[in-house]
Amino acid sequence: MHGLILDNFAMHISLNDEEKERVLSKLQYKEIGKNTTLLKAGKVCANIYFVNKGCLRIFHKDAENAEHNILFCPENWWLADIVSFSEQTPAFYTIAALENTEVFYFSYADLEQLYVEVPKLERFFRILIQNGFNLYQHRITSNLSKPAEERYELFRRQYPGLEQRISQKHIASYLGITPVFLSLIRKKKYQKH
């Protein structure tokens, strides 16, 4: 049941049985149907989620009502509108499901209490944010320096197998190009082989 998430904690910190117990006691579970919204921009992000199965996306809806995917979160990803969650203020981003998805999550209050009971978690989540910071920094770097075609390749390498699971329009939005143009890139690519 909790295999994936315990392995995930183990990547950065080691918890003894008692600590595992405490952590799991606060853990909640939820299923989100495909295309359902988990967090809507403007609401406070009440929980921090771990994806056990399926795939979520974080996106921004701009003034023209266009959606821009800033992150895909398949199995093993943690996600929240970080600022909204940690400051309990209205969210800027929306979170929705691309597939039927299972998540585990902590509420804000429970996580605060866990930080006291299991201080190692502070370290865990600090590393998590640091990794996210790093991911975004590299993403900005490649957005600045690389054409769409290479960014598409990068996406394929960073999310192995995900391309088969989600629609091209979402990938295009993530890359910052139109679905039409992504279609052209792919056509060009496959004609070469």
Q: Which residues would be at the binding site for a second copy (CB under 8 A)?
A: 60, 62, 66, 68, 70, 82-83, 86, 92-93, 122, 126, 129-130, 132-134, 136-141, 143-145, 173, 176
By beta-carbon proximity to a second copy, the closer residue of 36 and 141 is 141
State the binding partner of 144 from a second copy, DNA, none, CB within 5 to 8 A by kind. Answer: a second copy
Residue 179 in contact with DNA, rule: CB under 7 A: yes
Residue 42 in contact with DNA, rule: CB under 7 A: no
Minimum CB–partner distance for residue 35 and DNA (Å): 9
User: What gap in Å lies between CA 145 and CA 76, rounded to an integer?
Assistant: 29
State the binding partner of 42 from a second copy, DNA, none, CB within 5 to 8 A by kind. Answer: none
By beta-carbon proximity to DNA, the closer residue of 88 and 168 is 168
Spatial contact of 96 and 36, defined as CB atoms under 8 Å apart: yes
DSSP symbols for 25-55: HH-EEEEE-TT-EEE-TTSB--EEEEEEESE
Spatial contact of 101 and 55, defined as CB atoms under 8 Å apart: yes
Q: Which of 148, 160, 189, 193 binds DNA (CB under 7 A)?
A: 148
Q: At what angle do helices 108-117 and 17-26 cross, to 10 degrees?
A: 170
Q: What is the total count of residues that contact DNA (CB under 7 A)? A: 17
Minimum CB–partner distance for residue 54 and DNA (Å): 13
User: What gap in Å lies between CA 50 and CA 8, rounded to an integer?
Assistant: 10
Beta strands in the chain (DSSP E): 28-32, 37-39, 47-53, 55-61, 67-74, 78-79, 94-97, 101-107
Q: Which of 141, 147, 153, 158 binds DNA (CB under 7 A)?
A: 147
Residues that bind DNA (CB under 7 A): 147-149, 167-169, 176-184, 186-187
